[in-house]
Amino acid sequence: MGLFRQNEEDPNPTTQSNKLITSGIYKYIRNPMYLALVIFQIGLGISLSFLHISLMSIFTAITLHYFIIKREETYLRKLFGVDYESYKAKSRRWI
């Protein structure tokens, strides 16, 4: 959240992006918040001893990938062009 504040950006994925953040954790991974969500879901399932919650993280990851991340990547490619393509080449989508 600090990186978003430093760059005067809103972390809400539905708001318009004005700047491509490529520092901090974003230097290594393009979707740290989505990855954290999936890891949290796995951990929650394990800590509560509900295997089905952990297994549903597979569905969560697939849903995020195809219905959110792919759309975001298309949007960012159109908005930032070559800068986004260069960033994509240097960082991973998930891990």
Structure confidence by residue, pLDDT tens digits, 41-68: 999 999 999 999 999 999 999 999 999 9
Number of domains in the chain: 1
Q: What amino acid occupies position 62?
A: I
In-domain check, residue 11 = no
Torsional class of 81: left (φ above 0), alpha (ψ -120 to 50), beta (otherwise): left
Q: What is the pTM of this model?
A: 0.85
Average per-residue pLDDT for the chain: 93
Q: Would you state the pLDDT for residue 50?
A: 95
In-domain check, residue 15 = no
Reported confidence tier of residue 15, pLDDT bands at 50, 70, 90: confident
In-domain check, residue 35 = yes
Domain holding 89, by residue range, is: 30-95
